[in-house]
Amino acid sequence: MNTDTCNLIFEKCISDYHIHDHVDTPLTQPHPAQSAEALLYEKCWVDTVQWHLEDIVRNPTIVPEDGLALKRRIDLSNQHRTDLVEYIDSYFLQKFQAVVPKSNATLNTESPAWAIDRLSILALKIYHMRAEVERSEATAEHRASCSQKLQVLLEQQKDLSAAIDQLLNDIVNGSKYMKVYKQMKMYNDPSLNPVLYQQTTK
């Protein structure tokens, strides 16, 4: 797997979502179950739905009860996103399990999957910034400003893709090694969030 594959999957996923462009559209998985491609597609689908949930919840006229329900849905989505990133890292750990790190191998600041997570979000930024560039009813100034931002995002995508590919190559040749820490989202855990666990003692 390389970032060319990732970016193609992300672009296809975002395009598929916008066929119906609705947060309740069910995911239709085009890749074989349990494959790395399926994980990447599902990861991007979760990101895409959450992107639009974040837009909806910022509506200043939203009914407070609806806003709270959306916030809780976003919390669940964040947990799902984290779980998928960890599944993707598990794929890489298994893929590289036979690699013997060199004696001077170093640790990266983030795991491959968390870097790929940023690539998925970047694909969403590019899609929606391009939509702003092409929005006919927007002012010329708005479209020009968004066009400049789009060029920066495309450059960022190119740089991040190259950095991820380099990281994967470094892991393969033993120059880097993977060390994955499970995310500990304390606010989601009833045993760690005091607002939650104090409810059970009242």
10 Å Cβ neighbour count for 30?
A: 12
- pLDDT at 187 (0 to 100): 67
Closest to 44 in 3D by CA, of 13, 85, 79, 15: 13
- Asked if pLDDT for residue 191 goes beyond 80, the answer is no
Interval 179-188: pLDDT, tens: 888 776 666 6
In the predicted model, what is the mean pLDDT of residues 6-12?
98
Report the C-alpha gap between 171 and 183 in whole angstroms.
22
10 Å Cβ neighbour count for 190?
A: 10
Give 201's pLDDT tier (boundaries 50, 70, 90).
low
Cβ atoms 48, 125 nearer than 8 A = no
User: What is the separation of C-alpha 57 from the centre of its chain, rounded to a whole number of angstroms?
Assistant: 19
- Asked if pLDDT for residue 202 goes beyond 60, the answer is no
Buried b / exposed e along 69-103 (16+ C-beta atoms within 10 A): ebeebbeebbeebbebbbebbebbeebbeeeebee
- Asked if pLDDT for residue 69 goes beyond 90, the answer is yes
Interval 105-148: pLDDT, tens: 999 999 999 999 999 999 999 999 999 999 999 999 999 999 99
- pLDDT at 1 (0 to 100): 81
- pLDDT at 151 (0 to 100): 98
The four Cα atoms 84, 86, 92, 95 give a dihedral, to 10 degrees, of: -90
User: What percent of the chain is modeled with pLDDT above 70?
Assistant: 94
Half-sphere exposure of 49 (CA within 13 A, CB side): 20
**DSSP codes joined into one string, 128-186:** HHHHHHT-TTS-HHHHHHHHHHHHHHHHHHHHHHHHHHHHHHHHHTTSEE--------G
Q: Which 3 state secondary structure label does DSSP give 107? A: strand
- pLDDT at 139 (0 to 100): 97
Amino acid in the structure at residue 119 = L
pTM: 0.91
| Burial of residue 145, with CB atoms counted within 10 A of its CB: 0-12 exposed, 13-18 middle, 19 or more buried | middle
